[in-house]
Amino acid sequence: MTHERTASNQAALGASLQDLLAPTLELATWFLSREDELPEPELREPQAMRARLDAGLGDSGHEAAEAMEKMRAILGQTPSSSSWRFLNQLFGGRVGMASAAEMLAVLPNSSMYTLKAAGAQVLVENEVLGRMCSKVGFGSGEGSFVPGGSSANLVALLMARDRAAPGIRDSGSAGSTLIAYTSVEAHYSIPKNAGIIGLGRKNVRLVEADTEGCMIPAALEAAIEADLAAGNKPFFVNATAGTTVRGAFDPIRAIAGVAGKHGLWLHVDGALGGSMALSAEHRHLVDGSELADSFAWNPHKMMGIPLQASVILVARRGSLSASLDETADYLFQADVDEWNPGHRSVQCGRRNDAFKLWAAWYHLGDSGWDARIGRQMALARTAAAMIAVDPELELLEQPQSINVCFVVRGRSSEDVCDLLDHDGIIKIGHGQVRGRRGIRLVCVNPDLDKTTLKKILDEIKLAGRSLAVEGKKP
């Protein structure tokens, strides 16, 4: 009777994981074999995609085989960020060991708030965070995994706010105008987060950048002095290590001098460029990081770890829990705080993002990351050199890191990128560089080579020529 009841329950709840392992492996193998193909151009529009895929949900379920085939159809219309054709974001490529660990991490389905719930995964997370702290110079620091670089920047703002206005966490704003500072080239999450936590987006000062897109320390000093004279309370400075469009690095050490003079919290948004801390040749780009109070770092970008893998690191232990800890005796029932990451997290339930990063690091070591970053930087230099000598293209500036910005001469960069996307050729974006809108080629995928770079540039030029004759396609 027990067996019959179990079989009945299984039928109601769907196929077991054991039954799905073989077809899942087959489906994954199929996807990898064709991931250099972008989705069909005729399905570029959401309405056409919806009609073809018919992914609607209903009252009745479907057999496992039918569900797997539907997943195959959906995956077939999903761009792979490991394809040479995917150049649209600040992430790309794949570290096989990390992807394998990501697939395995879902089996125990651990939530990373307590040692009791997550077991050895907490040891793994603490090891990774400790290693990252040491790389940015936080010898006695700590950290937490967060759902993206924007969230890391949010937590940094929270900690800075709480230090600047003791009691605000409990009693709310006391009416003083807290002012934050960031470069005009910085990520949009800084003003967005100021709105989220109630500081007000208008209380974020966008500090002037130089011709290379780096914050000017003297302009920061002037902005702070102006706010002090107006009776405002400066409290936070964000320095960017790798800006979104140009890949520029603010001078952290000089900015730290200004922030320290005025007692301001210094945060480094190293979501993109934090990985330079792993490179012997390029470590100078984050020089001065040890002087910061906090540091955001996204291993899912230059380190090739599957999304998501983002951390917030702090220089002083206790900073995270001072702003994020809450008493919850139904959750924290065993072990000291060190082994219960929930005390230091903005989340309660939290997926295991550390295991895949640890597995890749254990496999590659520091030397593997050093080689990967060297490869990415070399690719950017190669791409820039190819663009600089091509009469159809114009390099807007020498790349400061892995972002290469250029234009097709006489063509709209936006139109070129739209056409490439519309025709299912390449996914690539554009942005402003010194007042001009350029195509942004991000050399984050180390599996690219000179041959694939040539294919990419040839496709871009071909799109430009098409526009010259036909104008922008619908």
| Three-class HEC string of the chain | CHHHHHHHHHHHHCCCHHHHHHHHHHHHHHHHHCCCCCCCHHHCCHHHHHHHHCCCCCCCCCCHHHHHHHHHHHHHCCCCCCCCCEECCCCCCCCHHHHHHHHHHCCCCCCCCCHHHHCHHHHHHHHHHHHHHHHHCCCCCEEEEECCHHHHHHHHHHHHHHHHCCCHHHHCCCCCCEEEEEECCCCCHHHHHHHHCCCCHHHEEEECECCCCCECHHHHHHHHHHHHHCCCEEEEEEEEECCCCCCCECCHHHHHHHHHHHCCEEEEEECCHHHHHHCCCCHHHHCCHHHCCEEEECCCCCCCCCCCCEEEEECCCCHHHHHHCCCCCCCCCCCCHHHCHHHHCCCCCCCCCHHHHHHHHHHHHHHHHHHHHHHHHHHHHHHHHHHHCCCCEEECCCCCCCEEEEEECCCCHHHHHHHHHHCCCCEEEEEEECCEEEEEEECCCCCCCHHHHHHHHHHHHHHHHHHHHHCCCC
pLDDT at 267 over 50: yes
Determine the pLDDT at residue 328.
86
Q: How confident is the model at residue 195 (pLDDT cuts 50, 70, 90)?
A: very high
pLDDT at 161 over 80: yes
Determine the pLDDT at residue 2.
43
pLDDT at 275 over 80: yes
> Mean per-residue pLDDT for 249-255?
98
Determine the pLDDT at residue 174.
63
Q: How confident is the model at residue 17 (pLDDT cuts 50, 70, 90)?
A: very high
**Tens digits of residue pLDDT in 421-463:** 999 999 999 999 999 999 999 999 999 999 999 999 999 999 9
Determine the pLDDT at residue 434.
92
**Tens digits of residue pLDDT in 344-397:** 899 989 999 999 999 999 999 999 999 999 999 999 999 999 999 999 999 999
Determine the pLDDT at residue 6.
52
**Tens digits of residue pLDDT in 113-128:** 888 888 999 999 999 9
Q: How confident is the model at residue 474 (pLDDT cuts 50, 70, 90)?
A: very low
